[in-house]
Amino acid sequence: MREAMNVQSILIKEPGNFNQENLRQLFDLAEHNLPSLLKYANQIRKEQVGDEVHLRGIIEFSNYCSCHCLYCGLRAENRKISRYRLTNQEIFQSVQTAVNYGLKTIVLQSGEDRFYQPEDIARLIEFIKKHFDVAITLSVGEHPHQSYQIWRNAGADRYLLKHETADPILYQKLRPGKNLQDRIECLLDLKDLGYQIGSGNMVGLPGQTLTSLIDDVLLMKKLNVEMAGIGPFLPHPDTPLVGSSAGSLTETLKILAITRIILPTIHLPATTAISTVNDDARRLALESGANVIMPNFTPLTVRDQYVIYPQKIDIIEDPEQSVNKLKKLLKEMNRTISMSYGHAVKIKTYSLTKKEAYHGFGSQ
C-alpha cells in the first residue's frame, strides 16, 4: 500500500528512534496526504489491537476543583456553575447502570477536590471492586505518591492524568501555579506503583506550535503510556480563553493517527471533545486509529454542571440512548464491542527518568 510505504520510508531510517525530525516529516506527509496517514493508522490499529472497541463508563463524581486552569470550565474561579458531589449511593447506582449495559471499566473522574481524603477514595474503590466485576480507572488529578499508593492497594487499575501540553512555558501559562515537571513526576510515580497510565493533550491551544505538538507525542512515547486522550481545544465561555479559536478536527485526527503509528498497541479514545465537534467526528476518530469510547454514566441531574468545555455531546443523552447509538455506529463500521476489561495489550517499560522530569521536558 502506498500510504504504508510513505510512512515506513520515514520511520525505517531509525526504527524506534523517534525525534523531532522524523515526526516533522510525518506531519509534512499529513499536510499533503492526510487520508493516507489516517488510513495507515487505522491499518496499524486493526493489526495491533483488532476491531474491538472498549467502552469505558465515566462517572463524574465531583465538579469541585482547586485549580485555576485558564481553559477549564471547572476552574476554581468559575462562579457560574453549581458545584456538586455525588453521594456514595449515587456513585454505586451509576456503576450498576454501566455494568447492566455490559461495561467492564469504570472511570471515576473529578476536579482536584480537596474535600476527599485519600481513604475516602480508597473505600469507594474497595466497595466497587467487591460488588462489581470491573476495572477501575481514576482521573482525579495530581496527588502525593502516598495517595496513589493507597488507591492502588485498594484496587485501582489505571490512572488518567493528561499532560495537556509538553511545552513547559505554555503549560505554566495555562495552569497558573503548576509546572510540567510535577505532572511528569506524578505519571512516573503512578507507573512505578503498577498503574496502567493514561496521558494526553489538547490540540489547538493558544500559543501551541508544531514543535510542541510533536513533543506531546514524544513525551507519551517516552513514558510508554497505555492510553492517550487526545482532543481539540474548545474555548469555554466562562474562562479567560473565551475569545480564542477552537482546535480543528483535522489537526486532532492527525495527532491521533500519528500517536497510533508511534505507539501501535496503545488504547486511543474517540474522546468526547472530538465527538462534540460534529456528528461524524466519532466515526472519523475510529477510522483514524481510535479503539475506545467513553460513554457518560454521570446522573443526568448534575451532568450539565460538569462542563470542562462547552456543548459536550453527552450532556443530554441517557445511558440507553448513548449505548444504543454506539452499538448502531459500531455495527455500521463492522466493529465489535469488547467484553474484556480492556487492560493494556502489553505492559511496557518507560524510558523517561525522574532526573529528566526534574530538568524539564521539551525541545531545547
Question: Between 6 and 183, whose confidence is greater?
Answer: 183
Q: Which residues pair with 199 in a beta bridge?
A: 228
The yes-or-no verdict on residue 2 having pLDDT over 80 is no
Quick one: angle between helices 88-100 and 118-131, nearest 10? Answer: 30
pLDDT, tens digit (0-9, with 9 covering 90-100), for 69-101: 999 999 999 999 999 999 999 999 999 999 999
Q: Residue 278: its pLDDT value, please?
A: 85
pLDDT, tens digit (0-9, with 9 covering 90-100), for 301-343: 999 999 998 876 667 778 888 999 999 999 999 999 999 999 9
The yes-or-no verdict on residue 360 having pLDDT over 60 is no
Q: What is the DSSP letter of 264?
A: T
Q: What global pTM score does this model have?
A: 0.93
Q: Residue 294: its pLDDT value, please?
A: 95
The yes-or-no verdict on residue 348 having pLDDT over 50 is no
**Taking the domains of the chain in order of start, what are their residue ranges?**
49-358
pLDDT, tens digit (0-9, with 9 covering 90-100), for 133-187: 999 999 999 999 999 999 999 999 999 999 999 999 999 999 999 999 999 999 9
- Cα–Cα distance list, 26 to 73, 182, 203, 260, 269 (Å): 34, 30, 17, 12, 21
pLDDT, tens digit (0-9, with 9 covering 90-100), for 196-213: 999 999 999 999 999 999
Band of residue 363 on the pLDDT scale cut at 50, 70, 90: very low
CB 289 within 8 A of CB 260: yes
Q: Which residues are annotated as a binding site for S-adenosyl-L-methionine?
A: 164, 175, 183, 234
Assign 274 to helix, strand or coil. helix
Q: Which residues are annotated as a binding site for (3R)-3-methyl-D-ornithine?
A: 139
Q: Residue 197: its pLDDT value, please?
A: 98
The yes-or-no verdict on residue 347 having pLDDT over 50 is no
> Under CATH, which number does the domain 49-358 receive?
3.20.20.70
The yes-or-no verdict on residue 120 having pLDDT over 70 is yes
Instruction: Give the mean model confidence (pLDDT) for residues 249-271.
Output: 96
Q: Which residues are annotated as a binding site?
A: 65, 69, 72, 139, 164, 175, 183, 234
Instruction: Give the mean model confidence (pLDDT) for residues 125-139.
Output: 98
How many CA within 13 A on the CB side of residue 180? Answer: 25
Q: Which residues are annotated as a binding site for [4Fe-4S] cluster?
A: 65, 69, 72
Band of residue 277 on the pLDDT scale cut at 50, 70, 90: confident
CB 313 within 8 A of CB 275: yes
Question: Between 19 and 111, whose confidence is greater?
Answer: 111
